């Protein structure tokens, strides 16, 4: 009996971690741009599938998405040519160069048959900019819209990106090789090495974000744009650039999450939604503003999930989400007390 | 009949006639559009109250499964099962509402997500009863008094009739007493409480109403399709409904209908166009997502405001005749209305106020002043009931100060340091909010237009108050369009409509230009002449010295002087507290 | 003068072209499959097979009619399915409707096709789609039922002396179908179900359910799911220490199962249609040539290493319709007369005997709109990373 409890505990915690990077991404996006990004899970999918393609020696469809996005960016900025053709040509030139670099990098990586870590880096370079592009297309034009409008817009983005995923990769699952195959038995539980990789990455990411926002100028600028957009602009902070940067970093974290997750459950076009949802629940436990609490939040979600799946698997969603409500009520009173 | 009402009638007639004109395939789509519109309309109300809900799909499901299962198993008349199912959902919603509506910020939508998923999962998991993921067929059709509604066209008309009635009711609600209160729920909690709105109860009422509409829509859906399964009531549907409400325009109930029609027709048109080119179903989803994003980028406020610009303006509610009866203010000077004894408040290690003893007598005009950080705002918030003191007592008319929304009913009204007007509402409607505590037409009366006389009286009182403060001409302008000076005066008018014995003014001169301050002083003097008891917190010394009869000076949480302006100005403690004495300029 | 002659020439040409086109009547086959949504893994291959059929027919002029395929997506949603089927019936004037991918969607449209009197071939696995027969006059189906598949597997369990089995299935309608089948078959054959757990396609962790199953000490485990979850659950079972036989449904009968499960799924036993194991069938088996031809066409056209069970379902549905249509036209019924031809098509479909399809040999009758029996159900075993035919001892 106690064996089972221990099992479920360890199992729950390690599986909760799967959502950790996603929770961090959501918190990052929210704290800098005040956008609740429902589409964040899709970068998980893109990261995983891009890696799957690269490891199988195929040109990943993500490259075409990236190039398409860069092209759209250039087209949208057509108005700038009239105002300041020098800057416009620099900008468009930059976009073209970025596209070429991405293409060359991918070709090179495939030709060189890089190992898993190398391919992960390439996949990251292909997916992360998509975040910045999405920011450019959806948040940049209407920075002062209400939260709910951004939520709906991100739902639209999620629909399109998931649809594109289905179009490019089909409905089939793609197996992905882990960084290190196998695992070890911690008591009664089998923990794959991949799970350790996820834990380490999550902790590093969190630590990195903390150092970045507290100790670097760019990080502080990101925080400033979140707290007071107008004020930050008056201080000379390019709030659009900070927003795009936040989206890019968040996409990067989510993509890494997908790449680490795929060896455990395979990559497929619909993996983003559920991971996104669970990550959101975890992050929201910390009010979407607190990194360490998000980590705790996802572990709670993982723990609840494992326990419910064991106790009554048909009703596990009912149990997990019902139990969430008292936790939210508790968090709500805590944050009210803190606010005062 | 006004131009707008005629237009609304014409549109309604067209919508009801459409099922008889369209080919049968389109009738089906139109029917489901109507069902979604019904839920979207309720969701719009929720959004107006500042509550984002991702659980409407689950309420639809409760209404659907409740009616379907009982009718199928026991052969009971579907009209009865429909009513029972909707009522049961209302009870569940009330319970959920009381538990979750105290959540703030992101916790509330997350909670709606949580129970939305939990409920929807029950439909799948409890397959012995609900038929599980595979669903149950042989659901009886809707039968009204023995007449089975199997003709799709009639059914569609019924659906749209109900939806249009809901839109009518909610539009009517918007300009009623409850509607004005609902407008304060999003982000103006302090305002709502200050004028007698029990925000918790009102939130629950709004929530239950929208759940009722959703359940009704769900029951109508299931008796039309004659088949029930969990997938139409999933989280994805809740998202779809939210999209409809936001795209349509969350400012108006008609926006819900517009959103539903737009999205459904966009979806089917898209399918048509793509099918003609032989393209796959997946492309529909991609293009649809892009269209959604583009639509919201172009119309972040939703489509309805763009449409409304071309429509005739709605008629204003009547504000003719006599206002509400006012209590006569007695001349009984010397009667103590408000007494503070030993008031103190402690925040952690900081003693912000200590040993505050003061009184407010009838007809007095008292000013509360002090340097920055003295504790004026804190004391003020204790007096107006927003914070509780940690020591001492406050007595209002001899009784302990009640909490929250009860205070205004006892006769004490206030204005706010940061103006709390609802910018999109007209000035007169904002002022009419002050009458909330003096009237009692509730949610249902507002919905069914049974509050005409009372509403007229409330608006008449508001009109009279505006004229009293000299803003009669601005009555129908949007409150947000007024300059700050006038906005502050509107706040005073609003407080006056609450028919208070005591008026609390929180830095009314802050941010005003000189000419605006003159107007303010004129009004204050006028009020004083009418025997209104006033307690004023201010930074502007010139203004305060010129108006008030008595001053209370705070410094570092204690009273350092009380007395007439002349005495206080000469008081050395006061002078040194203000760092070098003399008259302070406006802060 | 010149204009008149040109006009006359154009008119003559138009008349002759339309006359030529009017030579052959048009058969319209409408389909609604789940191209998006939760069932897209099943629906997309079905759509592909229909596309393939369309392309093959374009080259074939031997039929006495032209064929038009109209295919819509229902997004795995019953409401959309009903609306699309209505569209096919009233707007597109389809003769036959092939729909739908899942059991709930197929059930939702029953009323619609029955009232409109349009023959319907379903692609769903549930038995309730075609039973009770007297209420399903217009509805047929091509996939085998869960009942048939599970019966074959439970028979093998009984042969091995297994008395206790545990069930692990998807919580959607696919898994539910398996559960309903397992419950009735196990009861009939005297096997006890000691555990019943659920999981979802998109889950990231299957270990708790696997642990619970192992702790109930079954002698065999049955997993009713599709990859990736079916392979991952299989792996999870092994990891928590279960070492007995593991059976699977036809949902696992595809390459993804092996490429995901790798070594762990060696020895897995699957109940499947002949499509998976046709290579091991004796050459005398009439199924072999038909499936070989189809598999070659499909695998080449859609660039997949191995065709799974789903495309065959719509391929068979299309071909059965074509066969029935041929007979209808031969009997003199005009395809332009929609009501008459629909009724005639229904009768001819019901009269199909010994039709060798990819999913099995079909024999419809007024009381049997499934048309398949145990001859079309096989068990496959994963041996050396490949699916081989399994001989039950």
Residue B225 in contact with partner chain C when CB distance is under 8 A: yes
Residue B57 in contact with partner chain C when CB distance is under 8 A: no
Q: Which of C272, C301, C329 is the last residue of a domain?
A: C272
Q: What is the pLDDT of residue B280?
A: 67
Taking the C-alpha atoms of residue C389 and residue C55, their distance in angstroms, rounded to an integer, is 32
Q: Which residues of B fall within a CB distance of 8 Å from A167?
A: 280, 282-283, 286
The token pair that represents B144 in the structure block: 């009204």
Of C341, C319, C393, C353, the residue nearest C121 (C-alpha): C319
C104 and C39 housed in the same domain: yes
Q: What is the pLDDT of residue C95?
A: 95
In this predicted structure, which of A76-80, B246-250, B414-418 has the lowest mean pLDDT?
A76-80
Averaged pLDDT, C201-215: 92
Euclidean distance between the first and the last CA atom of chain A, given in angstroms as a whole number:
44
Residue C46 in contact with partner chain B when CB distance is under 8 A: no
Q: Which of C244, C272, C300 is the last residue of a domain?
A: C272
- Does residue C382 belong to any structural domain of this protein? no
Of A129, A142, A137, the residue nearest A75 (C-alpha): A137
Q: What is the pLDDT of residue B571?
A: 85
B75-109, pLDDT tens digit by residue?
888 999 999 999 999 999 999 999 998 887 778 88
pLDDT at A339 over 70: no
The token pair that represents A60 in the structure block: 């990943």
Note whether B134 contacts C128, CB cutoff 8 Å. Answer: yes
Which domain does C160 fall in, by range? Answer: 146-272
Class of the CATH-defined domain B336-577: alpha beta
The token pair that represents C129 in the structure block: 């789609």
One DSSP character per residue, B340-367 reads EEEEEEEETTEEEEEEEEEEEETT-EEE
C228 and C159 housed in the same domain: yes
Note whether C211 contacts A271, CB cutoff 8 Å. Answer: no
Asked if residue A263 lies in contact with residue A194, where contact means CB atoms within 8 angstroms, the answer is: yes
pLDDT at C206 over 90: yes
The angle that helices A147-169 and A116-138 make with each other, rounded to 10 degrees, is 140
- Does residue C284 belong to any structural domain of this protein? no
Would you tell me which residues 565-584 of chain B have a C-beta closer than 8 angstroms to some C-beta of chain C?
none
C132-174, pLDDT tens digit by residue?
888 999 999 999 999 999 999 999 999 999 999 999 999 999 9
Q: What is the DSSP code (8-state) at residue B330? A: P
Q: Strand B365-369 to strand B550-555: parallel, antiparallel, or no bridges (unpaired)?
A: parallel
In this predicted structure, which of A269-278, B385-394, C290-299 has the lowest mean pLDDT?
B385-394
pLDDT at B491 over 90: yes
Distance from CA of B224 to the nearest CA of C (A): 10
Cα nearest neighbour of A289 on chain B: B106
Which domain does A118 fall in, by range? Answer: 20-180+187-289
Note whether B100 contacts A329, CB cutoff 8 Å. Answer: yes
Residue C65 DSSP SS3: coil
Q: What is the pLDDT of residue B16?
A: 93
Q: What ranges do the domains of chain B cover?
A: 3-234, 336-577
Is the bond preceding residue C228 a cis peptide, omega within 30 degrees? yes
Averaged pLDDT, C235-257: 92
Best mutation site among C202, C238, C257, C311 for testing chain A: the one with the most A CBs within 10 Å?
Answer: C202
Taking the C-alpha atoms of residue B571 and residue B579, their distance in angstroms, rounded to an integer, is 13
Note whether B107 contacts A332, CB cutoff 8 Å. Answer: yes
Indicate the number of domains in chain A: 1
Q: What is the pLDDT of residue C13?
A: 52
C138 and C20 housed in the same domain: yes
One DSSP character per residue, C109-147 reads THHHHHHHT--EEE----GGGT-SGGG-TTEEE-SPPHH
The token pair that represents A67 in the structure block: 């190039």
Report in angstroms the alpha-carbon separations of C41 from B517, C181, C195. 72, 22, 28
Residue A140 DSSP SS3: coil
C56-71, pLDDT tens digit by residue?
998 888 888 999 999 9
A190 CB burial (10 A radius; 0-12, 13-18, 19+) = buried
Size of interface A-B (CB pairs under 8 A): 131
C109 and C152 housed in the same domain: no
Best mutation site among A328, A333, A335 for testing chain B: the one with the most B CBs within 10 Å?
Answer: A328
What are the DSSP E strand ranges found in chain C? 26-33, 66-73, 96-99, 120-122, 139-141, 164-170, 192-199, 220-224, 246-248, 269-272, 355-356, 361-362, 378-383, 386-389
Distance from CA of A233 to the nearest CA of C (A): 42
Cα nearest neighbour of A287 on chain B: B106
pLDDT at C3 over 70: no
The token pair that represents C237 in the structure block: 């079972």
Taking the C-alpha atoms of residue B359 and residue C73, their distance in angstroms, rounded to an integer, is 75
Taking the C-alpha atoms of residue A56 and residue A176, their distance in angstroms, rounded to an integer, is 9
Residue with tokens 């360890």: A10
One DSSP character per residue, C236-265 reads HHHHTT--S-EEE-GGG-SHHHHHHHGGGG
Q: Which residues lie closer than 8 Å to C272 by C-beta, 6 or more apart? A: C149, C250, C253, C309, C377, C378, C379, C380, C387
Q: Tell me the pLDDT band of A336, cut-offs 50, 70 and 90.
A: low
Residue A167 in contact with partner chain B when CB distance is under 8 A: yes
Strand order in the sheet with C66-73: C66-73, C26-33, C96-99, C120-122, C139-141
Residues in chain C: 393
Taking the C-alpha atoms of residue C374 and residue C93, their distance in angstroms, rounded to an integer, is 36
Question: How far is Cα of residue A286 from the mean position of the Cα atoms in its chain?
Answer: 17
Q: What is the pLDDT of residue C9?
A: 54
pLDDT at A145 over 60: yes
Taking the C-alpha atoms of residue C29 and residue B228, their distance in angstroms, rounded to an integer, is 28
Chain C residues interacting with chain A (CB cutoff of 8 angstroms): 36, 38, 40-41, 44, 171, 196-205, 207-209, 211-212, 215, 227-228, 232, 239-240, 256, 259-260
Q: Which residues of C fall within a CB distance of 8 Å from B132?
A: 173, 176
CATH code for position C40:
3.40.50.2300
- Does residue C391 belong to any structural domain of this protein? no
Taking the C-alpha atoms of residue A304 and residue A296, their distance in angstroms, rounded to an integer, is 12
C160 and C138 housed in the same domain: no
Residue B552 DSSP SS3: strand
- Does residue A4 belong to any structural domain of this protein? no
A46 CB burial (10 A radius; 0-12, 13-18, 19+) = buried
Asked if residue A55 lies in contact with residue A117, where contact means CB atoms within 8 angstroms, the answer is: no
pLDDT at B582 over 50: no
Q: Which residues of C fall within a CB distance of 8 Å from A172?
A: 41, 256
pLDDT at B302 over 70: yes
Indicate the number of domains in chain C: 2
- Does residue C304 belong to any structural domain of this protein? yes
Distance from CA of C79 to the nearest CA of B (A): 7
Q: What is the pLDDT of residue B517?
A: 86
Q: What is the pLDDT of residue B568?
A: 86
Asked if residue B182 lies in contact with residue B49, where contact means CB atoms within 8 angstroms, the answer is: yes
C109 and C169 housed in the same domain: no
Taking the C-alpha atoms of residue B400 and residue B382, their distance in angstroms, rounded to an integer, is 12
Taking the C-alpha atoms of residue C182 and residue C159, their distance in angstroms, rounded to an integer, is 17
- Does residue A157 belong to any structural domain of this protein? yes
Q: Which residues lie closer than 8 Å to B309 by C-beta, 6 or more apart? A: none
C175 and C198 housed in the same domain: yes
Taking the C-alpha atoms of residue B225 and residue B216, their distance in angstroms, rounded to an integer, is 14
pLDDT at C317 over 60: yes
Q: What is the pLDDT of residue C5?
A: 56
Q: Tell me the pLDDT band of B581, cut-offs 50, 70 and 90.
A: very low
Would you tell me which residues 161-220 of chain C have a C-beta closer than 8 angstroms to some C-beta of chain B?
171-173, 175-177, 180, 198
Best mutation site among C40, C79, C224 for testing chain B: the one with the most B CBs within 10 Å?
Answer: C79
Residue B497 DSSP SS3: helix
In this predicted structure, which of A46-55, A182-191, C36-45, C246-255 has the lowest mean pLDDT?
A182-191
What's the ipTM? 0.88
Q: Where are the alpha helices (DSSP H) in B505-555?
A: 514-529, 541-547
Nearest Cβ partner for A173 among C203, C211, C256: C256
pTM confidence score? 0.90
Q: Which of C238, C272, C306 is the last residue of a domain?
A: C272
Distance from CA of C326 to the nearest CA of A (A): 35
Asked if residue B224 lies in contact with residue B142, where contact means CB atoms within 8 angstroms, the answer is: yes
Q: Which comes out higher in pLDDT, residue A228 or A17?
A: A17
In this predicted structure, which of A285-289, B208-212, B294-298, C202-206 has the lowest mean pLDDT?
A285-289
Distance from CA of C289 to the nearest CA of A (A): 27
Asked if residue C341 lies in contact with residue C64, where contact means CB atoms within 8 angstroms, the answer is: no
- Residue C278: CB atoms within 10 A of its CB come to 21
């Amino acid at each position: 009996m106690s064996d089972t409890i221990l099992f479920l505990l360890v199992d729950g915690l390690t599986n909760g971690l799967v959502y950790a990077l996603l929770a961090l991404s959501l918190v990052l996006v929210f704290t800098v741009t005040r956008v609740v990004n429902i589409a964040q899970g899709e970068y998980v999918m893109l990261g995983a599938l891009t890696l799957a393609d690269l490891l199988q020696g195929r040109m990943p469809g993500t490259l075409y998405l990236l190039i398409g996005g860069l092209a759209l960016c250039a087209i949208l900025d057509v108005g700038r040519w009239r105002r300041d053709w020098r800057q416009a040509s620099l900008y468009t030139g930059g976009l073209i160069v970025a596209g070429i670099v991405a293409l060359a990098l991918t070709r090179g990586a495939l030709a060189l048959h890089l190992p898993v870590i190398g391919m992960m880096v390439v996949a990251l370079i292909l997916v992360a900019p998509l975040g910045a592009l999405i920011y450019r297309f959806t948040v940049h034009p209407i920075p002062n819209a209400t939260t709910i409008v951004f939520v709906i817009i991100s739902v639209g983005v999620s629909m399109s990106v998931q649809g594109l995923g289905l179009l490019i990769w089909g409905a089939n699952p793609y197996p992905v090789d882990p960084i290190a195959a196998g695992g070890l038995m911690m008591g009664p539980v089998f923990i794959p090495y991949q799970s350790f990789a996820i834990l380490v990455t999550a902790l590093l990411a969190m630590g990195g974000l903390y150092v970045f926002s507290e100790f670097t100028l760019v990080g502080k600028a990101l925080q400033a744009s979140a707290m007071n957009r107008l004020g930050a602009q008056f201080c000379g902070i390019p709030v659009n650039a900070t927003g795009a940067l936040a989206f890019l970093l968040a996409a990067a974290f989510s993509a890494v999450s997908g790449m680490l997750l795929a060896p455990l459950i395979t990559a497929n076009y619909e993996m983003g939604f559920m991971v996104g949802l669970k990550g959101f629940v975890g992050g929201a436990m910390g009010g979407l503003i607190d990194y360490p609490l998000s980590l705790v939040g996802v572990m709670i979600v993982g723990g609840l999930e494992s326990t419910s799946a064991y106790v009554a698997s048909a009703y596990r969603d009912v149990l997990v989400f019902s139990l969430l409500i008292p936790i939210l009520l508790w968090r709500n009173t805590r944050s009210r007390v803190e606010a005062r | 009949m006004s131009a707008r009402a005629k237009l609304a009638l014409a549109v309604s007639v067209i919508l009801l006639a459409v099922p008889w004109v369209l080919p049968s395939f389109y009738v089906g789509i139109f029917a489901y559009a109507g069902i979604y519109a019904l839920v979207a309309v309720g969701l719009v109300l929720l959004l107006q109250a500042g509550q984002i809900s991702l659980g409407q799909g689950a309420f639809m499901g409760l209404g659907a499964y409740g009616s379907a299962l009982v009718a199928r198993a026991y052969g009971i008349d579907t009209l009865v099962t429909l009513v029972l199912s909707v009522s049961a959902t209302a009870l569940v919603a009330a319970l959920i509402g009381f538990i979750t509506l105290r959540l703030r910020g992101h916790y509330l939508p997350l909670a709606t997500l949580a129970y939305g998923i939990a409920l929807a999962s029950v439909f799948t998991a409890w397959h012995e009863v609900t038929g599980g993921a595979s669903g149950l067929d042989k659901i009886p059709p809707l039968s009204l008094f023995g007449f089975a509604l199997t003709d799709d066209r009639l059914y569609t008309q019924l659906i749209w009739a109900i939806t249009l009635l809901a839109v009518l009711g909610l539009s009517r609600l918007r300009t009623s007493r409850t509607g004005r209160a609902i407008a304060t729920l999003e982000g103006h909690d302090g305002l709502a409480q200050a004028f007698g709105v029990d925000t918790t109860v009102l939130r629950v009422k709004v929530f239950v109403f929208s759940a009722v509409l959703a359940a009704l829509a769900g029951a109508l859906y299931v008796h039309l399709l004659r088949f029930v399964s969990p997938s139409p009531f999933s989280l994805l549907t809740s998202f779809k409904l939210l999209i409809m409400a936001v795209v349509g325009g969350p400012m108006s109930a008609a926006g819900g209908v517009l959103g539903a029609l737009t999205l459904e027709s966009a979806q089917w048109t898209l399918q048509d166009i793509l099918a003609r080119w032989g393209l796959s179903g997946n492309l529909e989803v991609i293009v649809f997502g892009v269209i959604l994003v583009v639509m919201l980028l172009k119309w972040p406020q939703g489509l309805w405001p763009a449409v409304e610009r071309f429509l005739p303006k709605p008629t204003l509610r009547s504000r003719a005749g006599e206002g509400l009866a006012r209590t006569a203010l007695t001349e009984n000077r010397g009667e103590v209305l408000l007494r503070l004894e030993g008031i103190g408040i402690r925040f952690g290690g900081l003693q912000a106020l200590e040993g505050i003893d003061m009184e407010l007598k009838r007809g007095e005009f008292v000013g509360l002043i002090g340097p920055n950080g003295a504790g004026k705002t804190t004391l003020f918030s204790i007096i107006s009931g927003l914070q509780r003191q940690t020591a001492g007592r406050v007595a209002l008319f001899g009784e302990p100060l009640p909490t929250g929304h009860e205070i205004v009913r006892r006769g004490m009204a206030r204005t706010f340091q940061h103006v709390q007007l609802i910018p999109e509402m007209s000035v007169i409607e904002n002022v009419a909010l002050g009458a909330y505590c003096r009237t009692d037409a509730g949610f249902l009366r507002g919905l069914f237009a049974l509050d005409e006389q009372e509403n007229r009286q409330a608006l008449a009182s508001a009109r009279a108050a505006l004229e009293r403060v000299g803003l009669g001409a601005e009555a129908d302008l949007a409150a947000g369009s007024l300059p700050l000076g006038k906005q502050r005066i509107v706040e005073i008018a609003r407080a006056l409509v609450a028919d208070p014995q005591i008026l609390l003014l929180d830095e009314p001169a802050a941010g005003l230009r000189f000419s605006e301050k003159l107007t303010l002083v004129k009004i204050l003097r006028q009020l004083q002449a009418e025997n209104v008891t006033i307690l004023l917190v201010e930074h502007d010394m010139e203004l305060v010295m010129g108006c008030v009869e008595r001053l209370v000076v705070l410094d570092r949480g204690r009273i350092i002087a009380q007395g007439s302006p002349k005495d206080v100005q000469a008081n050395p403690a006061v002078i040194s507290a203000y760092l070098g004495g003399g008259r302070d300029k406006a802060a | 003068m010149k204009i008149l002659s040109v006009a006359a020439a154009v008119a003559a040409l138009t008349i002759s072209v339309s006359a030529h086109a009017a030579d052959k009547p048009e058969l319209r086959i409408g389909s609604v499959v789940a191209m998006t949504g939760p069932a897209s893994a099943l629906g997309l291959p079905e759509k592909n097979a229909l596309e393939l059929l369309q392309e093959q027919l374009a080259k074939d002029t031997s039929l006495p009619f032209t064929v038009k395929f109209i295919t819509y997506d229902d997004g795995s949603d019953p409401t959309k399915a009903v609306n699309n089927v209505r569209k096919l019936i009233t707007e597109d004037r389809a003769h036959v409707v092939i729909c739908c991918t899942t059991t709930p969607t197929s059930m939702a449209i029953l009323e619609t096709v029955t009232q409109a009197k349009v023959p319907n071939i379903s692609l769903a696995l549930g038995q309730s789609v075609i039973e009770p027969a007297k209420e399903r006059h217009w509805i047929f189906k091509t996939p085998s039922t869960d009942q048939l598949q599970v019966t074959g597997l439970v028979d093998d369990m009984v042969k091995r002396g297994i008395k206790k089995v545990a069930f692990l299935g998807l919580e959607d309608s696919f898994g539910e179908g398996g559960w309903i089948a397992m419950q009735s078959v196990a009861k009939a054959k005297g096997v006890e179900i000691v555990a019943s757990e659920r999981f979802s396609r998109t889950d990231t962790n299957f270990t708790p359910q696997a642990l619970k199953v192992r702790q109930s000490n079954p002698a065999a485990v049955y997993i009713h799911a599709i990859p990736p979850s079916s392979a991952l659950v299989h792996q999870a079972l092994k990891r928590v220490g279960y070492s007995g036989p593991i059976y699977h449904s036809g949902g696992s009968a595809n390459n993804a199962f092996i490429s995901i499960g790798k070594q762990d799924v060696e020895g897995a036993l699957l109940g499947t249609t002949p499509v998976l194991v046709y290579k091991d069938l004796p050459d005398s088996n009439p199924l072999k040539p038909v499936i070989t031809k189809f598999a070659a066409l499909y695998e080449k056209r859609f660039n997949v290493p191995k065709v799974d069970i789903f495309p065959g379902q719509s391929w068979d549905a299309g071909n059965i319709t074509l066969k029935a249509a041929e007979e209808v036209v031969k009997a003199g019924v005009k395809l332009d007369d929609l009501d008459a031809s629909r009724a005639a098509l229904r009768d001819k479909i019901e009269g199909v005997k010994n039709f060798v399809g990819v999913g099995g040999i079909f024999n419809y009758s007024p009381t049997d709109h499934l048309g398949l029996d145990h001859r079309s159900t096989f068990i496959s075993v994963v041996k050396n990373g490949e699916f081989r035919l399994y001989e039950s001892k």
